[in-house]
Chains A and B, each alone.
Chain A
Amino acid sequence: MRLQEHNGLKDILGKIIDAAIHKFEAEYAEARAQRLVKTMLTLKEGNVEATTQGIESGVALRVLARGAWGFASVGRMDVETLTEAVADACAMAKRASLRLKTPVKLAETKAVEDKVVSRPRRDPASVPIEDKLKTTLSLNKTVMVYDKSVKGCTIDYLDTTGTTHFMNSTGTYIEQDKLYVWSRILVTAKEGDVYTSSREEIGSTSGYEVFDIETPDIVGRRVAKRAVDQLKAKPPRGGTFPAVLGPNVVGVFVHEAFGHLAEADLTLAGSVLMGRLGKKIGSDLVTFYDDGTIDGAFGSFKYDDEGVPAQKTLLVKNGIVSGLMHNLETAHKFNAEPTGNARAEDFRVEPIIRMRNTAMQPRDCSFEELFEDIKFGYYFKAFRGGQANFDGTFQVGVQEGYEILKGEIAEPVRNASISGNTLETLLEVDAVGKDFQLWSGRCGKGQEAFVCDGGPHVRLKEVLVGGSA
């Protein structure tokens, strides 16, 4: 029965693509049909706000006609609705093309036929909701009993399962399972007038077994301890200081301060990386990559939403810009190979260039070596948020930080942030650790994407620290 339905859908998509090309004059057409099932929980201090199960089902139709894009999204899968929608998409593309100066062209790709089946050890779709509640309630309990200063604990849980059927007019047809398990824990602590907060995210594409490693006990203690320890922390001094960044902060720096600038759509739009391909922008110790193939990582998948296989893309090698992240359109512009970075949050939106698992390559310094020469500086261990601008101005807010005194980790500081210009800061990297960690998170670029960021510990000769003391 299930197979028949799938074959039925393949036939329908085939008819729609055919109509787009032969009837409505599209140069390229793609259809992306999805049926997703989600389970969500929100717990606040152990109160279960609502236990949610949802179904989202629909089709995204994207066409290129007269050099412009047309896109339609509908929540139905019948031939009649989809034919109407694809006609609409083609008509819209033609209207959008009216004032076009440079028509959009796409890189050529090999046609692929594949079926990607996820094989979780524990399929979230068959884990009973009661078990998911048990896990999150136990996480809540670990947090709330950690210390009496803990006031709040908000836990969100989400799992998504389902299948994407992708077909385009160049002969590609891919059925690909989707599987995500995610949880975010927000903890607040209070003592007197001092409020602190701490956050942690867990994410996996392998299965519910992620909670066997990131157990409620381990995660709960980590996030609660951070909020409580900050109560005794002092504000950092404002100004320029040497700093050691932990893998979690390095990850967000690579992602925010560098990664976005290397998304080829943003590079073309004029980010500071424009014209710097092949040029030296950082110290020899700097090697960055974006990898969609790490097994089970939150940003991994086999094919992107243009049907291009994911790969490991080298962005910076020993300080030299060596690659960008592409979709079909930017790959053509740069005369490069598509890298499999085109992702769409769901069938309601068009694929755009997104990161996957973005990280810095480790080197050979020990943890102690990174600190030993610093008389006074800061150790920034975990980030709260980060953001970058086209000119390379970045800001990373820090949720866990410490002073470094005479080569040793000293007192904690709270509400610190670092800022600077990406290119200037990459030249300040003067030692890179041999450790490595990846952290799961979500990235917003109009749409949400699941990603990982990471790297080793890194030392900066100096960085601007925002502090109120």
Chain B
Amino acid sequence: MAVPEQEEMQKLAEKAVNAALGKGADEAEAFVYQGIATNIGIERGQIVRSSRIIDEGIGLRTILNKAIGFSYTNVLEGDAAINETIDRALSSAKASKPDEDWRGLPNKKPYTSTGGTYDQKIVGLHSEDLVKIASIMLEAAEKADKRVFPIEGGAGASRMSVAAANSNGIAAFDQGTMVDCSLATICQDGSEVTPVCFEFNAERSHHIDPEWIGKEAARLALSALKPKKIETKSTQVILTQFALQQLLYFTLIDAIKADYVQRDQSALKGKIGQKIASDCVTVYDDGVLHDGLRTWKFDGEGVPQQKTLIIEKGVLRDFIYDNYTARKEGKESTGNAARAGYLSTPDVEATNFHILPGTKSPDDLVSEVDNGLIMYYLQGAHSSNPASGEFSVVATPAWKIEKGNVTHATKGVMMVGNIYQVLTNITALANNERKLGQLIAPWMLVENVKVIGK
């Protein structure tokens, strides 16, 4: 299928903005999105499916007397569909209620150059190439042990293009690529079934390692066999990136969003300049990180993405803003307006939430633990209390560490606490950072974590 050119997408965005102004909008903004994704699916140990999904559309925000109307469509052919979309955006604005805090759409600003986000090689990947990638991964897992069963997974390649335009002169285009593979495995031994173990690798350029994914997913499932129950106590815990991502997404990451802070729903309100984490913790929200999974030239409002210092050696330095929340405080947006393609209005979201790594090797980190746990996967983090940071989750599974060695899997261990206690009790970070969705982080060692066993 023909891919619309940069020029076409930009022209469409600008035309929609001008037409909306012509129909009486005070301000207008258009966001045009196109995504083409090819995927290979693995189910129950074999490759069984392949798909191609082409999704494109335009989202149009119009403002009338400080009331905001939004409309979108994925029907892009012909002027009639676009005109109808403009009319619906305007009628939505007319029906809506003025927002006294509205201070206008963002202005044009220069973009920082970003790198490693587009790879022609990914654009050229076809389903047969992805079948190869998936096969390598699958074979690596199956070779590990007969008891390993790859239940699902796949490989995918996608290309996304975005064009943004608004009535303050923003007119921008960017495109990016992504390739990924993932595998979920379980291990079956007699009547015993392990929890699902999962590995995943996504990159903006074509250098993923499907063999490692297969091997690692198999190794984890194998080592999850024969779990033992543990006692309830406070203990040392190493959180790997999977566990961290789950915990942080539903707690800390919400708490640094200006929207939550302004609405008195963040435990971090009023704490800029205060110590909220241990000295070894430094965090950036880095929207321009080289080859970051969430790196783009501009955000969902056409505002430049940037690198924002959030926590410096344990001290809270800043929150993340979109244009609306920033102007409410007389500030500039930090380029953190995210949108779901053309389907939604912008919302404050982290880009690449980057916890800087430490210097210890992961093995050294494990060797520092006399009696504790290492947690890969958590269940139930989404039931955390987003405002207070309190969580009560299950580790499925966690592995016991005794005298510096990982000894065996544990069964049904719950971990309870508050994310701010966790941040304060971090004593060491490893040097093994990796990318997982919006998180880039190393393993971390946390002291004094309450775990509930029997």
Contact = CB atoms under 8 A, between A and B. Distances in A.
Given A151-B264, A269-B151, A420-B412, A72 B51 contact: yes
A272 B193 contact: yes
A188 B52 contact: no
B414 A466 contact: yes
A52 B72 contact: yes
A389 B185 CA distance: 12
B95 A419 contact: no
Nearest to A98: B131
A396 B385 CA distance: 13
Contacts of B454: 240
Interface in A64-79: 68-76
Interface of B: 1, 40-41, 43-57, 61, 67-77, 81, 84-85, 88-89, 91-93, 95-97, 99, 101, 127-128, 131, 135, 149, 151-152, 186, 188, 193-196, 232, 259, 263-265, 267, 343-345, 379-380, 382-388, 390-394, 396, 411-412, 414-417, 450, 452, 454
A195 B379 contact: no
Given A51-B92, A348-B55, A393-B412, A99 B46 contact: yes
Contacts of B196: 389-390
Contacts of B149: 269-270
B49 A69 contact: yes
Contacts of B93: 51
A238 B68 contact: no
Contacts of A162: none
A50 B70 contact: yes
Contacts of A69: 41, 48-51
Nearest to A75: B74
A417 B56 CA distance: 41
B74 A385 contact: no
B392 A49 contact: no
A48 interface: yes
B263 A44 contact: yes
A277 interface: no
B48 A68 contact: yes
Contacts of B382: 385, 387, 397
A109 interface: no
A57 interface: yes
A51 B68 contact: yes
Interface in A385-400: 385-398
A70 B196 CA distance: 26
- Among all A-B residue pairs, the 7 with the closest Cβ atoms: A397-B383, A385-B383, A395-B380, A195-B387, A71-B51, A92-B50, A69-B49
A268 B43 CA distance: 10
A74 B54 contact: yes
A52 B92 contact: yes
B111 to A, nearest CB: 25
B49 to A, nearest CB: 4
Contacts of A396: 380, 383
A415 interface: yes
B99 A72 contact: no
Contacts of A163: none
A84 interface: yes
Given A268-B44, A417-B383, A393 B70 contact: no
A118 interface: no
B350 to A, nearest CB: 19
A104 B46 CA distance: 11
A363 interface: no
